[in-house]
Copies of this chain bind each other. A is one copy, B any other.
């Protein structure tokens, strides 16, 4: 009944990734310490994270890679498929229409929207581009519950409101702006601008001290 920290979920995904690689190598038992090393954290961290969800190992032995992998897959809900709508078929949006990453993770883009008349009606990678004016009806028609926002920042809130109104339950937002959504709507932001500014900061403030680099206050 505990609330699970975001970072625990992120690490669970990483463990899952490491376990896949181990399975491919034919390794079928791994200790928390080894798994941690491959996931860039401690064995303690691995064990602690797993206790949020149950007991998956054997004392004195370790974890069975394929068992743990399938348990994590189920915990993350990666054993099902989700229908997704994409809003904004610009350069990033159209890249996503032909990006296999979504499909690989169980997210099928079934419809897309744009306001640009020259794009409407076209089909990219089997996905139709519809007029954003038809968003609500189309969302209902397809029974889509998840949306990807790849419109310019200034239109993102408006699109988000429209999606929420249409019954969307989760949003993956790529627009560089903080969206206001009702608490019941799940939102994840992938903010490239924030990453670029962090990169800029660390590049600017990198300082050499005794042949070692640290990020310091001025």
Please report A residues at the B interface, Cβ cutoff 8 Å: 1-4, 6, 9-10, 12-14, 16-17, 39-40, 52-53, 75-78, 80, 82, 91-92, 94-95, 98-99, 101-102, 104-107, 145-146, 169-170, 172, 176-178, 183-184, 186, 188, 190, 192-206, 212-218
- In contact, B178 and A188 (Cβ under 8 angstroms): no
- In contact, B105 and A197 (Cβ under 8 angstroms): yes
Q: How far is the CB of A163 from chain B (nearest CB, A)?
A: 14
Find chain B residues with CB under 8 A from A40 CB: 178
Given contacts A176-B17, A184-B213, contact A82 B194 (CB under 8 A): no
Where chain A touches its partner, the secondary structure class is mixed
Nearest B residue to A153 via CB reads: B17
- In contact, B176 and A196 (Cβ under 8 angstroms): no
Number of copies: 2
Find chain B residues with CB under 8 A from A77 CB: 200-201, 203-205
- C-alpha spacing A104/B217, complex, angstroms: 26
- In contact, A200 and B106 (Cβ under 8 angstroms): yes
- In contact, B101 and A197 (Cβ under 8 angstroms): no
- C-alpha spacing A13/B199, complex, angstroms: 11
21 A/B residue pairs, CB under 8 Å, sorted by A = A2-B217, A3-B214, A3-B216, A3-B217, A6-B198, A10-B194, A12-B197, A13-B197, A17-B193, A77-B200, A78-B197, A91-B98, A91-B99, A94-B95, A101-B176, A105-B193, A106-B200, A145-B203, A170-B202, A186-B202, A190-B192
Most buried by B among A4, A13, A98, A102: A13
Given contacts A199-B186, A203-B169, contact A192 B9 (CB under 8 A): no
Q: How far is the CB of A39 from chain B (nearest CB, A)?
A: 8
